[in-house]
Structure formats: structure tokens, C-alpha cells
Amino acid sequence: MGSVAIWRVALSAGALSLSLTAAGAQQPPPPEDERPAAAEQAVGPAPGAATLSLAQAVVLALKKNYGLLAAADGVQSARVNYTAARAQFYPQLTPRYQRSAEESSFAVEASQRVPWTGGSLSVSALMRSLPGTDLALTRSTGMQLLLSQPLLRGFGPNAAHYALRNSRRAQQAQERAYELGRQRLAVDVARSFYQIVQQRQLLAVARQSLQRSQSLVKASEARLQVGLVSKLDVFRAELQASQAQDAMVRSQAALDTALEQFRVLLGLSPTEPLEPEGVELADELAGDGEPLETLLERARGRRLELQESRDQVDDAQRSVSLARQNLLPQLDLNLGLTQGGFGTTFTNAFTTDRRVNLFFSASYPVERSAERASRAVAEIEVTARARAVRQQELQVEGEVRAAVRELERIRKSVELQKKGVEVAEQQRRLATLRYQRGLASNFDVVDAEGSLVLARSALVNLLTSYQVARIELMRVTGGLDVEQEFK
């Protein structure tokens, strides 16, 4: 009788196990809730927050970014200095009037620098009235005109316009630096914009992973109640749910940080209720672009850094030419006209005496150590700046090659990652199906869920990086027109 009872219990347990397994096998397949990453529903802007597109964000940053405003101040200051330098070639007029009990006088002094030759023209006139009788010589006049023209040192347009050209070059350098700042700011705004888009997508991935993990926890607990799984499966599912919730918390914090940095970049308060608009990331990327040699040639001709470096070589050569000229003797040709005298009226006083002088003046300092040192330093500067141009060309070429390589890497990685997402989705589907039918534990489900989250997150990172890399390639090739690209 004892053995018969044991057999009955064993048969009952086996029948119960078979019925539970069959019930598990009759469960419907898991719902097709996993969608491709391209169709992943991203987290949108906060309710009630104003939104703006990438083009609007760039335009706003160009107007309000504090760093760019400081660069604009530098351009304005350089323009003011250039205007002051140009004023040296305007006529300089200084009138003067004096009156006292003994006499009264009126004088005018005028000077003009002669462009291109380095000469100067100065004129002074004086009319003075003294008290006395009508027949006394109570009027005196004087006029002096002097034209001075250097023949050796200081002769020519280089010496005459040296300070003016330096001021003009300083303005040009500031304008180029300002334009480079605009381009870099546009790239930074685009990077910050798509960083927010990326964090929204990652938050959506983490949120959906948490939902699936919570469903797995409920399923594991239900199976534990009927004895189909062990407590280890429940612990494993709870651990995965906890990790998914932590990932969602980190994604939310990263999104908030990215939003604040984006607003500061636009010159706004970090708490300003302004966010980027919702953007759908297309996973179909453009094919191969222009050949590398074409991009390199464009960069060599358009990059403002190279243009500035080449102009700096010309500046150094002008400095060498002036330093060599400064070693010459000072030899000036002077033409003077003097007219004036005393009379009863200003008219006859003006015609009293007239003299014309033509003379040379020369000087040559014996100690020329400073001038020779200036010439030597200027010659060294020419060589140094020529090397800097070559170094800049190599750096630009490296930047273009790196940008092209990065863009091509992203294109290839996107195609590979899309396949990886598909495989990860199929893996999770199969693991879930096997788990629901009692053919395996939830270990494979947890492992497949982690692979799916990693694959989707990697694809989101690649798609957002592609948008920034595309703009960066335009910048490094000198083809980024901020006004046209973000209008």
C-alpha cells in the first residue's frame, strides 16, 4: 500500500507539471512592442515651453551669445583705431586768436602729409595788430610754407602708410576672428541642440526598457507562485528593473543639464522656458560626398586661418623692408616760402618781404645698434611666419581628413548598428517567447534586454553625431556660410 501511494503522488505531480507546461505553451506570443530605433518615440519638449528650430537657435545665439558680443566689441574697437589712423592723412588745421591791451593777433597753422611719398606740407600764417597812429607800422604779417620730402629714409608708400596698413590689418584680423567665432558658435549650438535630442531619445529608450523590465518582474513573480521558476529569476528581473530605472534617472539628469547649457549658449538664463523643438532622426543617411582632394583644395583657399597666416607673412615682409630703409641716412629735400613784414595795413605788410628757400638736410646717427637689431628680428619673423603658414596648412589638412573620416565612420557604423538593433530585437523576442513557454529561465531575456538597450542607445548617438559632423565638415573646409546654412 505504501508503494502504491507513492506512485499516485508521483503521477499527480507529473500531470500537474505537464498541464502547467502546456498552459505556458498555449500562451500567446509576446506583443510586438519593440519597434526599430528609427521609430523610437522620443521625449518631447516640456509642456508649455517655447520651442525653436536649429536655425532659430543659431540666429538667437549670434545675437545674444556673450562671447560673440565680446568679439564684436573687438571688431568695433579695431575699426575706430583704423579711422584714427586714417585721420593722419587728413588736413590738420589749428586756428589761434589772442588779444590783450598791447596787441591782438590771429594765427592759423595747417599741415598735410603727402600720401605715397612720405613727404609733408606745412603752412602757418600770422596777423598781428599793435597800437599806434595811423601812419605808424602797426600791422605785421607772416606766412611760412614748407614742403619736406624724404629722399632715402622715410621715402615711399611703405614708410608713409606703414602705421595705416598695420591698423587696417588689425581690423581685418579682428573681422576674421569674429567670423571664425560665428562659425564655431554655430557648430556649438548645433552640437548642444542635438545633444538634447540625443538625451530625449535615450530617455525614451530607458523608459521603454523600464516598462519591459517591470513586465518581466510581474511575469517572474507569477511564475514563482506556480513553481515554474526559482526566486533567482525574480531577483534577476528586479535587478534589471532597478538598473533600467537608474538609467532613466541618469538620462533625465543629463537632459536637464543639456537644456541648461543650451540656454546659456544662447545667452539666456538656465531656467528660461525655451527648448529645442522635437526632431525625428532619419536613419537613412546621405551617400558619399565630394572627393577628399576637392575638399582639401577648398579648405586651402577658403579657410580664414590660412588667409590670416599668409597675410601675416606679408606684414613681416613689410616690416623687413621698413627696417632696412631705416638704416639709410636721413636725407630730405626742403622747399620753403616765407612772406610778410610790417606795414600800416595787413595788405602792404603781407607784400613787404618774400623769400624762397630750397635746401637739403641730412643726418646719420653713428650708433645704429637698435636699427640693426630691428632688421634682424624682422627677418627672423618672416621665416617664423612662413613656417607658421606651412604648419597651419598641415593642421587644416589634418582637420579635413579627420572630419571626412569621422563622417564616413558614422555612416558605416549606422548601417552596422541598424542591423545590430534588428538582431537585438529578434534576440529579445525569441528569449521572451522561450521564457513564456517555459523552455528557459529569464536570464536570456535579461541579457537580450541589455543588448537591445545598448544597440538602440548606440544608434541614437550615431544619428545625432552625424548631424553635428556634417556641419563640422563644412566648417573645416571653409564652406560654412552661417547666414545661408541657418536661414
* Strand bridging mode 104-113 / 92-99: antiparallel
Point out the least confidently predicted range of 199-203, 212-216, 348-352. 348-352
Cell of 212: 519591459
Please state, in angstroms and rounded to a whole number, the distance separating the CA atoms of residues 178 and 208. 45
Bridge partners of 50? 274
Cell of 366: 653713428
Q: Which residues have CB under 8 Å from 60's CB, separation 6+?
A: 52, 266, 267
> Of 187, 189, 181, nearest to 268 (Cα)?
189
Please state, in angstroms and rounded to a whole number, the distance separating the CA atoms of residues 299 and 183. 14
> Of 374, 378, 385, 405, nearest to 476 (Cα)?
405
Name the residue type at position 174: Q
Q: Is residue 266 scored above 50 in pLDDT?
A: yes
Q: Percentage of the chain with pLDDT > 90?
A: 71
Phi, psi (deg, nearest 5) at residue 127: -125, 125
Point out the least confidently predicted range of 29-33, 136-140, 171-175, 264-268. 29-33
H/E element, 274: strand 274-276
Give the 3-state secondary structure of residue 288: coil
Burial class (CB in 10 A: 0-12, 13-18, 19+), 189: buried
Report pLDDT for 62: 96
Cell of 123: 603752412
Q: Is residue 132 scored above 90 in pLDDT?
A: no
**Confidence tier at 305 by pLDDT (50, 70, 90):** very high
**Confidence tier at 346 by pLDDT (50, 70, 90):** confident
Report pLDDT for 347: 75
Report pLDDT for 387: 97
Q: Is residue 39 scored above 50 in pLDDT?
A: no
Backbone Cα Rg of the chain: 42
Please state, in angstroms and rounded to a whole number, the distance separating the CA atoms of residues 392 and 388. 6
Report pLDDT for 423: 96
Give the 3-state secondary structure of residue 159: helix
Report pLDDT for 442: 86
Give the 3-state secondary structure of residue 153: coil
Mean pLDDT of 160-188: 96
Q: Is residue 208 scored above 50 in pLDDT?
A: yes
The fold of the 30-91+156-329+368-485 domain, in CATH, is: Outer membrane efflux proteins (OEP) (1.20.1600)
**Confidence tier at 227 by pLDDT (50, 70, 90):** confident
304-325 and 369-436 helices cross at what angle (nearest 10)? 170
Q: Is residue 63 scored above 90 in pLDDT?
A: yes
Burial class (CB in 10 A: 0-12, 13-18, 19+), 310: middle
Q: State the residue for C-alpha cell 593722419.
A: 88
Q: State the residue for C-alpha cell 575706430.
A: 80
Bridge partners of 141? 127, 341
In whole angstroms, what separates CA 36 from the centre of its chain?
A: 35
DSSP calls for 396-460: HHHHHHHHHHHHHHHHHHHHHHHHHHHHHHHHHHHHHHHHHTTSS-THHHHHHHHHHHHHHHHHH
Phi, psi (deg, nearest 5) at residue 29: -60, 160
Domain segments of the chain: what residues? 30-91+156-329+368-485
Q: What is the pLDDT of residues 356-372, one digit of tens each?
A: 999 999 999 988 899 99
> Of 425, 422, 444, nearest to 435 (Cα)?
444
User: What region, left, alpha or beta, does residue 58 occupy, with left being phi > 0 and alpha being psi -120 to 50 degrees?
Assistant: alpha
> Of 117, 142, 108, nearest to 128 (Cα)?
142
Q: Kindly report the average pLDDT of the chain as a whole number.
A: 87
Please state, in angstroms and rounded to a whole number, the distance separating the CA atoms of residues 110 and 146. 11
Please state, in angstroms and rounded to a whole number, the distance separating the CA atoms of residues 487 and 57. 11
